[in-house]
Amino acid sequence: MMKKQYKTLILVQILIIIFLIISFLFLKSEYTFLIPKCLFKEKFGILCPSCNGTSFAIEMANFNFIKAFNIHPIFFILLIYLILLDAIYMTNVLFKKNINIFKWWHSIIWIILLIIYTIIRNLL
């Protein structure tokens, strides 16, 4: 019988793959017009922290990584960080390691970076 950790690992990876496939198929379809406009930008006239996120996701789905990075570098770096966390999670479960790269203050740093990025791109 499989250990609970292995079952959880398999479930998490399957959910990630399903999410990626659905996102890829949606972003490659003609239904991207269904994604609502940014209410923050429409109401206040400034870019919110996630503005251009849809363009970023479309470029990622088209494997245009450089263009995706130019559109939203914070999302790109965050995506790499999340892939790294997932790889470490898989390593910990599969090889019975105890590598812990995530610290609570990482979230604070990401929030601060996102705020600074938002301020800078609205000033430029």
- Tens-place pLDDT, residues 2-44: 588 888 889 989 999 999 999 999 998 888 888 888 888 889 8
Instruction: Please give the average per-residue pLDDT across 86-92, as a whole number.
Output: 90
Residue 100 reports pLDDT greater than 50: yes
Cβ atoms of 47 and 115 within 8 Å: the answer is no
Give the separation between CA 32 and CA 30, rounded to whole angstroms: 6
Phi-psi region of 35 (alpha: psi -120 to 50; beta: other; left: phi over 0): beta
Residue 2 pLDDT: 59
Indicate the domain borders of the chain: 4-123
Task: Quote the CA–CA distance of 2 and 99 in Å, as a whole number.
Answer: 22
